Amino acid sequence: MKIVAIAINTFKEAVRNKIFYLLIFFGIFFSLSSRLISMLTIGDTLRILKDIGLASINFFSVLIAIFTGINLVYKEIEKKTVYFILSKPVKRRDFILGKFLGLALTIFVALTIMITVFVIFIYIFSGTFDPSIFLYFLFLFMELLIIISISILFSSFSTPILSSIFTIILYLIGHVIWTFSEFKYKLVEPLEKYFAYFLYYLFPNLEKFNIREALVLNDPISLKIILSTLAYGIFYVTAILLISIHIFNRRELK
């Protein structure tokens, strides 16, 4: 109940932020503006609508996750409200988990609004309902949970500016780190190969959750890939949260 209470308060605090609604608005606006772009291009109109629309939702969802998450822990420390919370029978572990769940709920609500509007838009345009969009929703939400956990990790010991920089860098690395597994065909020295593999397994492989191309091209995604990808996301989120709790437990609050 302590974790739930912190999560609810975090959610209420996040949705009071005007930037939250602004990013949702732009996510919806650019996803719907894909109709205008499709009129200027040659090709399957529905595929273009899905590609641009889902890319817009992805981009603005990531912005919400990063710029909301980086202030979660730091703001509590800066305003000294963390002392009031921890003075009660609340462990630091509960504080971190509550913040994570509160932000996860915030992201879920924002993503649900954008995806729902986009699904209705696609249905009005094409007269068809594509249930695979909800699989995209699930994968994107899992990717955002990883971003949230990373932002909480950095905000537990750093300032918002540095936290945002570190989180954005890891996000960008996460979408190119899959190339490191291909170095086994390029690298000759064993040490270089081991180092490439070390980086590959250390950083989150966010490209695992990018199924936009498969969705646009109507390529089937096997149940094995779905389950393994979700298991990977859960494992990574759990690991990052455990590190965040460990760092926050050792931090001396002044």
**pLDDT tens for each residue of 87-141:** 777 788 888 888 899 999 999 999 999 888 888 888 888 777 778 888 889 999 9
Residue 217 domain-assigned (yes or no): yes
> CA 7, 21, 107: angle at the middle one, nearest 5?
40
Contacts of 1 (CB under 8 A, 6+ apart): none
pLDDT at 199: 83
Output the six-digit token pair for 218: 């109507």
Residue 76 domain-assigned (yes or no): yes
How many structural domains does the chain have? Answer: 1
CA proximity to 56, closest of 130, 136, 135: 136
Q: Which residues of 152-182 are buried (b: 16+ CB within 10 A; e: fewer)?
A: bbbbbbbebeebbebbbebbebbbebeebee
pLDDT interval class at 143 (50, 70, 90): very high
Q: What percent of the chain has pLDDT over 90?
A: 16
Is residue 183 predicted with pLDDT exceeding 80?
no
pLDDT at 228: 92
Residue 196 domain-assigned (yes or no): no
pLDDT at 230: 93
Residue 65 domain-assigned (yes or no): yes
- Tell me the CB-side half-sphere exposure of residue 94, using CA atoms within 13 A: 15
CA proximity to 58, closest of 142, 2, 154: 142
What is the residue range of 80's domain?
2-175+210-250
Is residue 244 predicted with pLDDT exceeding 80?
yes
The pTM assigned to this predicted structure is 0.88
Average pLDDT over residues 167-192: 81
The per-residue pLDDT for range 55-97, each reduced to its tens digit, is 888 888 888 888 877 776 667 766 667 667 767 777 888 888 8
Name the residue with higher pLDDT: 48 or 40.
48
Residues 7 and 101 sit within 8 Å (Cβ to Cβ) = yes
Residue 138 domain-assigned (yes or no): yes
pLDDT at 64: 87
Residue 184 domain-assigned (yes or no): no
Residue 124 domain-assigned (yes or no): yes
Name the residue with higher pLDDT: 25 or 108.
108
Q: Cα–Cα distances in Å, from 125 out to 46, 112, 129?
A: 8, 20, 10
Residue 67 domain-assigned (yes or no): yes
